[in-house]
Structure 1
Amino acid sequence: MNEDVQFILDTAKEAMDNAIKHLEKQLANIRAGKASPAMLGSVMVDYYGSQTPLNQVANVNTPDGRTITVQPWEKSMLQEIERGILMANLGFNPMNNGESVIINVPPLTEERRRNLAKQAKAEAEDAKIGVRSARKDANNEIKKADDISEDLKNNAEIDIQTMTDKYVKKIDDILEVKEKEIMTV
């Protein structure tokens, strides 16, 4: 196979992989009723005047399925951590016991579960758009290439479509697992 074609295919595959990684990262932020340290991944804390991710100033654990504990490395950070969690607007009510911050994750209502499932679907659709965009870019690159025979171009387009179908199926599978996780009480 022509090196140019292989490069275009590799670039498309990389873009599609990135769409999947982004989807998985976004879905990790959608809570499914079970406590997870990833839920606090977006929390930023004022650490001596600079905004710092929570996981760089404290240890985040889940002792059970309904509780998240945040153990700061410096006790003076307790109020800042509480403020950071509240400012992140995650719907949590942190409690400070003088040693650590404890967050009880409330069980999800049926309506909230449906909304989270819709949100997960929207994220999956965005990922599919990313995959299709990578397909379009790759097909345009193939069409622009002058030094490639028509047969090679046709075969490359078929390969790109096959790869696209594989990634769309992967996205559907990831979404199915996440929806099941969200809807399970």
Structure 2
Amino acid sequence: MAVMTTEHPQMELEQFREIAIAAERQDVVLEFINGRIGVKPVPDGDHGEIIRWVSKRCMQYRPDLWLYAEQGLKVERYRAGHAKPDGALARDGAFAGQGEWADPAQVLMVVEVTSYDTDTHQRDRVEKPVAYAEAEIPVYLLIDRDAGSVTVHSEPGDGRYESIVTLAYGHEVVLPGPVGITLDTEELKRYSR
């Protein structure tokens, strides 16, 4: 039997991949962030409608960009972290030839939509902002169905976002450069409980 010498043992990526394949059969999606497994439920219809809504707005105002759904990203500079954001906004062809876990250098914005599960707070509001800031992704857009709000994280630096703006659904939300889009979030009220 192997003896672990670290206080917080980490899982190998291949072990995670085997578990993730089995989990997909159980209607959950797994992520590997900071050596830990994160579990989130398979998205529901309203979740999908929100991603469609964001994608449509991005295409309308920035046709040079594409919102890639569930694109795996390497999210940590010095650790074996991997995440699959609900959406990753980048130029067409940004992930060609990169495989399952792409370099986030070309990502202008990641989008997450909260799920109705017990881990959403830790995953989407605590761990993901740190992981995405460490990866220096310029904008993290969190659509929080529990709170009925949209949070825009921007200006990554020193492993955190310097600017965090939260507005309730119904307000206009500015996605700063390099994204440069303003969203009227009134329609989001239709997709939250």
- Between Structure 1 and Structure 2, whose CA radius of gyration is higher? 1
Structure with the higher fraction of residues in helix conformation: 1
* TM-score, structure 2 normalization: 0.20
* TM-score, structure 1 normalization: 0.21
Structure with the higher fraction of residues in strand conformation: 2
